[in-house]
Structure 1
């Protein structure tokens, strides 16, 4: 199962506001809550009491809560790696190690008597994970989660993100990463210029960020890094198909009812013999081979266009394609619609035999 999550920072907010946010997210099917002890300063007892109130409410709603820590925080709170009773008492389901130990400690922590999940930092290119695995951890209690980056231009490059993530998926471990709300105003640190994992996501609409994360096939859980996202953003995330790339598209006025039916009602998959110029979904031409597809809107084709071959293309009539490149139109292809501009890059995530769908963007 792929989950959605939010982040709360009780040392920068109130229990009342956090509960309101958690309730909203839960209403839309969010299942994870991330929180952070890294930036705890001031009256520690009061802050921890606020944490406990917030965490307890999320647990009442059946949400999973993971708390971000590092060895410095453990020392400050007087906690040893082999006694995690503090976090059990706090009420969390697991702890995320922003900075880790030597590998053996992490392995031992996965056997804690409370069943706490140990989540490790995915955003590094070292042999950290392999080292932990060499100490034979309880893999059922070991997961990974990327960092987020409040400083503009400091987020991960896409290639580095893929490199790091593949290490975890290779071993079958659950993974998570962060997207950034454009409505949120704070995070765990004073500087907040968004809180994405990937730098390329910083200015994108939040639903496009999440679609991309799921489309990579490398992320199981997508968490909003900053607080508080708007209800509209949360709703948009809740409506995403987490298992199949679904493009928001504009359908042109000239597009026929039959073409609309092909676009929205048929199951599309990326034909296995790959072209540099288009993604081909060919079953519609078989199913509707006895139907007519009169030529219309045969303008030149742009990358991101949804195109359907017309009657002039004979046996290809009714075949749907997504344009990967700009192309001259011979007059045999109808341009039926266009992918939302911010989502066009997602077509590069599709692989042969991947399934995909469309939703009308208004």
Structure 2
């Protein structure tokens, strides 16, 4: 996934903190940086002094720089007028266009400047604008979209609004990204209330918010706040855009069960009422030549990850995530239990969708 961090020169972090953030992100394989250069509280003197050094550090790691483009930012960069070639030479590789650009201008930019990517505001771009861009022969291979973030509490968008926007943009082949806040690191000033796209994410963990956005159809995720923790950056790096990732507590010590749980799975197309059934689990167990012996045959609450044992005959190896609480069955082992907040991700594992697990006890199982 093309996930990213955010840098705000001249605001909360020192130059050294921003440089360390770039190094850390690059070390985790994150190669995109979003920056905004027209935040009113920014120390413009520090911004002018530091921005070039930050661009150089990003360039050393072959990182993409995404910047808001507005008339107010041009003097900060030493430019008298909007000049995409000059912005590219400075090291800005993607232009996020919001107000002030017509669809004709956007279409022209995609054709005249193939070395640049154009980023639309995913939260406000309408079907009409997208159709106008198509009619104007815009190069959609150069276009992507990024949702807004919302510093003030109560102003983040709803899940429904994000999903509708994602569907609208995907119909035109536009990849969509969104922001998550840092819960445990330094939140950006002046409000310090986090910078989520979804209001529901304002105070949840970065890991959960990121995995939720992927479940909702986002193609990439950006950490919006000033100085996230290393754990939060690691959570971003662990995302997979082809599946819903569920965090769970591992309950089994059986080697065959643990090995089975390392695989990604696909939810069966013939959806069960009471459980999410893995399509591949029985064939995988058979291929491994393993057997599942009775163990932890406890009652099965919602979110239990179960594996049928040898007492179930040909169903041995059947892996399920329980949707409706069920009593104990000596034929079924309870191998893991989803974390409470991850129960919210179960509805997104629709028929045919892939899913996998991250375990607290054994973090290398993904």
- Using the size of structure 1 for normalisation, the TM-score is 0.87
Deviation, 1:35, is 0.4
**Secondary structure of residue in 1 paired with 2:141:** helix
Structure 1 partner of 2:265:
268
- Measured in 2, the distance between the counterparts of 1:88 and 1:287 equals 49
SS of 1:11 mapped into structure 2: coil
Once the two structures are superposed, the pairs formed by residues 144-293 of structure 1 within 5 Å of their partners are 144-187=145-188, 190-216=190-216, 218-253=217-252, 256-264=254-262, 266-286=263-283, 288=285, 293=292
Q: Secondary structure at the match of 1:119?
A: strand
| Superposition deviation, residue 288 in structure 1 | 4.9
In the TM superposition, what are the counterparts of 1:307-346 in structure 2 within 5 Å?
307-346=306-345
Change (3 A) 1:280 1:361: same
- What are the equivalent positions in structure 2 for 1:89-168 lying under 5 Å apart? 89-113=89-113, 115-124=115-124, 126=126, 127-168=128-169
Structure-2 change in CA distance of 1:6 and 1:336 (3 Å): same
Question: How far has the Cα of 1:120 moved from its partner?
Answer: 0.9
Displacement of 1:108 in angstroms is 2.0
Q: Which moved more, 1:279-288 or 1:203-212?
A: 279-288
Paired residue for 1:33? Answer: 33
Note the C-alpha offset of 1:291.
Answer: 6.7
Pair 20,251 (structure 1): closer, same or farther in 2 beyond 3 Å: closer
Distance 2:114 2:48 in 1: 20
CA RMSD of aligned residues (A): 2.8
CA distance in 2, matches of 1:336, 1:118: 46
Rounded Cα–Cα distance in structure 2 between residues aligned with 1:147 and 1:42: 19
Q: Matches of 2:301 and 2:125 in 1, distance apart?
A: 38
**Partner Cα separation in structure 1 for residue 350 and residue 80 of structure 2:** 47
Which whole-Å deviations, capped at 9, do the CAs of 1:267-292 have from their partners, x for residues lacking one?
A: 52211111121111254435657976
Q: Kindly indicate whether the alpha-carbon contact (under 8 Å) linking 2:260 and 2:285 is maintained by their aligned counterparts in 1.
A: no
For the Cα contact (< 8 Å) 2:212–2:345, is it kept in 1?
yes
SS of the residue 1:143 aligns to: strand
Q: Which runs of 5+ in 2 are unaligned?
A: 362-366
Q: 1:288 to 1:84 in 2, by over 3 A?
A: closer
User: Could you tell me how far apart the structure 2 residues matched to 1:140 and 1:296 are?
Assistant: 52
Cα deviation for residue 180 of structure 1 reads 1.2
Aligned counterparts of 2:237 and 2:358: Cα–Cα separation in 1? 14
CA distance 1:70–1:184, change in 2 (3 Å): farther
How far apart in 1 are the matches of 2:92 and 2:304? 47
Distance 2:48 2:104 in 1: 28
Partner residue in 2 for 1:302: 301
Report SS of the residue matched to 1:234: helix
2-side partners of 1:292 and 1:95: how far apart? 55
Q: 1:339 to 1:257 in 2, by over 3 A?
A: same
> Which whole-Å deviations, capped at 9, do the CAs of 1:186-220 have from their partners, x for residues lacking one?
43x5223111111222222212222222233x322
Report if the CA contact (8 A) 2:256-2:291 is conserved. Answer: no
- How much does 1:312 deviate? 4.6
Q: Secondary structure of the equivalent of 2:268?
A: coil
Instruction: Tell me how far apart the structure 2 counterparts of residues 125 and 237 of structure 1 sit (CA, whole Å).
Output: 26
- Residue matched to 1:3: 2
Kindly indicate whether the alpha-carbon contact (under 8 Å) linking 1:298 and 1:334 is maintained by their aligned counterparts in 2.
yes
Contact map agreement 1:281 1:320 (CA 8 A) in 2: yes
Q: CA deviation at 1:21?
A: 1.2
Deviation, 1:105, is: 1.8
Distance 2:304 2:199 in 1: 26
Structure 2 counterpart SS, 1:110: helix
What's the CA shift string for 1:118-164, capped at 9, x where partnerless?
Answer: 21100026333333333222223222111111122221211110100
Unaligned 5+ runs, structure 1: none
Partner of residue 364, structure 2:
none
Contact 1:204 1:342 (8 Å CA) reproduced: no
Tell me how far apart the structure 2 counterparts of residues 42 and 246 of structure 1 sit (CA, whole Å). 37
